[in-house]
A and B are shown apart, each in its own frame.
Chain A
């Protein structure tokens, strides 16, 4: 566990990192970014907490079991969304034109609209869930494993 200054700053900073990561995930179909990139940003915040606090301390709020379930459900949402368009073809964007995320933007450069993109924002969200839960579970498992070895030796 690092000093109190580092812990306080990490406590304040994690909020902004989470908001920025969520912004990158949810605006994946308008601005550069997407599920993988935003998930990596949020996982970098988790790693910051892991460095500032101890892995035993972080284990109380982030459980590997829950993370594993969230990761699997993200993969499941992704696959279900892919299979939902199978009436036409696998990975068909069946939500374009419908009221849900179905607005078609002006052709050409423009500021964009959050309510467009069909199935793409939902898939971005699923992939984001998957990357956040999966990478934090890996980092947490490795940190716990290495810290457990250090305690035993």
Chain B
């Protein structure tokens, strides 16, 4: 019974995903046109001196996002170290 329910849910999920990429929902590539990408492609080398425009966007134009990404990594590492360390110490002391 659970397998049948799981199969039905899987089919519903697949149907939703396929429906999401059909043309009326999924727009054409780069459809809402923006000037930002053209600006970055034209000016990134001159303004940041970096040949890799992706790196220029990551670390210069959108540096704040990278800071958030680094903060997430930092928090995850701190959480794992804190959790495993306290558990080990409790086992040793008891």
Contacts and interface: CB of A to CB of B under 8 A. Distances in A.
Contacts of B13: none
A27 B55 CA distance: 10
A31 B51 CA distance: 8
A110 B46 contact: no
B90 to A, nearest CB: 12
Given A32-B52, A82-B67, A91-B60, A134 B77 contact: yes
Given A28-B55, A78-B70, A130-B73, A105 B49 contact: yes
A145 B88 contact: yes
A135 B47 CA distance: 33
Secondary structure dominating the interface of B: helix
A137 interface: yes
Contacts of A93: 47-49, 60
Interface residues of B, number: 32
A56 to B, nearest CB: 13
Interface in A95-110: 96, 101-105, 107-108, 110
Given A75-B70, A105-B45, A116-B50, 15 more contacts: A32-B52, A71-B74, A72-B74, A78-B67, A90-B64, A104-B49, A116-B51, A117-B49, A123-B63, A130-B74, A135-B77, A137-B77, A138-B80, A138-B81, A145-B88
Interface of A: 28-32, 34, 36, 64, 68, 71-72, 75, 78-79, 82, 90-91, 93, 96, 101-105, 107-108, 110, 112-113, 116-120, 123-124, 127, 130-131, 134-135, 137-138, 141-142, 144-145, 148, 152
